[in-house]
């Protein structure tokens, strides 16, 4: 057990053009969300700073210039401090997309950890610089404030070796080229939620979690541990996504580089920002938009492409588990789209999946039929809550160690 943590913890998810945040009160046993919001369109003249409380009451909604992440975090911390005493804010927790091979749990941010994350930038060039920018911005304004890094890769740290291999010669592993897996904070929340609601036996069963959103992946989980996942070395692999293609024959990349002489930077933009649902439909990266425009053949094709590959990966992950006890849909699409859930489950009765149309349409938590061999659920994930828990536990452990040394 760790000592309790008094005060509030700010959780930050720093992306390429936005900073999402949530504030948690740590007075109770479980962190309690107080505010949430985002600073959007960073780098543009018409940025937006918006926040609401848990009841949806608007606390701020302003349009202003936000030239960079330093300014964004300075605005955010100043706004938070205006609403509370500085001493009430006891830590900042950060979502960090990649922790490499060494980071198997959340860690207190130190100069050594910052240096290690900078060395990992080549493994996640479009994500880690922005994650680090959030850490640096907080340190510049509040060097006294403890910071905690929670890694999306940590949940998959103990993937079986066969699931970590890429098929390239072994020497490339020395450069960190292996399968890592992502969305780990979401998977951790889902397994904790299953354990809380249904007990250890349920959480230790054979579970597939489908985190379906603008970024999408699935994980096969047994005994609470990841045994296989659809993303690999990068966040490009696996399922089709809003603007990312998912699994793609490497021969296509060679063709574009060699035959079409596409510059590497243009190829990177194509793979991260112009493919997936957006690329196939030519209309939108947003699944809700495509469903609303499904009469357009391009929209219909993009939807079916997504569902086809989701079914394919779901079946493959079931094989990796040796069967399936529970399927959980989460993420913006997974938790909110009955039609996509139904289309993915359609034709997978041989895996034991039987969806109840009424429960699914009614957005109930359990959406499987009473006789379904596999329990099917749909609920929202909460990665920010997981980060707040990590920060609380690390701060409590640190406090315990300091007290032990003081009385030693």
**Does 325 qualify as catalytic in the annotation?**
no
Token digits for 174? 């020395």
Q: Whose CA is closest to 375, among 136, 192, 194?
A: 194
Strands (E), 65-215: 89-96, 107-108, 147-151, 206-212
Q: Whose CA is closest to 132, among 38, 42, 69?
A: 69
User: With b meaning 16 or more CB within 10 Å and e meaning fewer, what string describes 87-112?
Assistant: eebbbbbbbbbbbbeebeebbebeee
User: Torsions phi, psi of 123, nearest 5?
Assistant: -80, -20
DSSP β-ladder status, 206-212 and 107-108: unpaired
Q: Which residues pair with 61 in a beta bridge?
A: 50
- The alpha-carbon radius of gyration of the chain (Å, integer) is 22
Rounded to whole angstroms, the Cα distance separating 56 from 232 reads: 37
Q: By the 8 A CB rule, do 386 and 398 touch?
A: no
Set 74, 152, 247, 382: catalytic member: 152
Q: Which residues pair with 225 in a beta bridge?
A: 222
3-state secondary structure 266-294: HHHHHHHHCCHHHHHHCCCCCHHHHHHCC
Q: By the 8 A CB rule, do 105 and 154 touch?
A: yes
Token digits for 340? 């996509």
Residue 318's contacts (CB-CB under 8 Å, 6 or more residues apart) are 208, 220, 324, 351
How far is C-alpha 87 from the chain's CA centre?
30
Q: By CB neighbour count within 10 A (0-12 exposed, 13-18 middle, 19+ buried), where does 163 fall?
A: middle
Which residues have a catalytic role annotated?
A: 152
């Amino acid at each position: 057990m760790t000592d309790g943590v008094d005060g509030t913890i700010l959780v930050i998810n720093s992306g390429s053009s936005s900073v999402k945040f949530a504030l948690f009160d740590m007075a109770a046993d479980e962190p309690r969300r107080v505010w949430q919001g985002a600073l959007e369109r960073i780098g543009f003249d018409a940025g937006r700073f918006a926040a609401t409380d848990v009841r949806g009451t608007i606390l701020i909604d302003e349009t202003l210039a936000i030239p960079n992440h330093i300014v964004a975090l300075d605005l955010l911390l100043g706004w938070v401090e205006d609403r509370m005493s500085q001493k009430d804010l006891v830590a900042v927790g950060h979502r960090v997309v990649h922790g490499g091979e060494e980071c198997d749990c959340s860690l207190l941010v130190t100069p050594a950890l910052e240096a290690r994350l900078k060395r990992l930038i080549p493994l996640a060039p479009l994500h880690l610089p922005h994650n680090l920018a959030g850490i640096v911005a907080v340190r510049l304004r509040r060097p006294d404030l403890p910071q905690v890094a929670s890694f999306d890769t940590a949940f998959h740290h103990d993937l079986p070796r066969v699931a970590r291999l890429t098929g390239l010669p072994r020497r490339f592993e020395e450069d960190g080229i292996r399968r890592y897996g992502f969305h780990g904070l979401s998977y951790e929340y889902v397994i904790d939620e299953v354990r809380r609601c249904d007990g250890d036996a349920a959480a230790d069963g054979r579970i597939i979690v489908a985190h379906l959103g603008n970024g999408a992946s699935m994980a096969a989980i047994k005994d609470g541990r990841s045994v296989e996942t659809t993303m690999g070395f990068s966040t490009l692999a696996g399922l089709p996504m809003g603007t990312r293609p998912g699994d793609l024959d490497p021969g296509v990349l060679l063709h574009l580089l060699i035959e079409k002489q596409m510059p590497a930077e243009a190829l990177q933009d194509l793979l991260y920002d112009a493919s997936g649902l957006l690329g196939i439909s030519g209309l939108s990266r947003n699944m809700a938009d495509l469903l609303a425009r499904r009469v357009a053949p391009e929209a219909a094709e993009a939807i079916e492409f997504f569902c086809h590959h989701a079914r394919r990966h779901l079946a493959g992950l079931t094989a990796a588990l040796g069967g399936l006890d529970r399927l959980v849909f989460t993420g913006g699409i997974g938790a909110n789209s009955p039609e996509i859930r139904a289309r993915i489950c359609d034709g997978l009765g041989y895996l034991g999946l039987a969806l109840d149309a009424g429960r699914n349409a009614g957005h109930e938590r359990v959406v499987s039929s009473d006789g379904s061999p596999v329990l099917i659920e749909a609920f929202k994930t909460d990665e920010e809550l997981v980060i707040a828990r990590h920060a609380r536990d690390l701060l409590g452990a640190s406090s315990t160690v300091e007290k032990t040394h003081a009385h030693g």
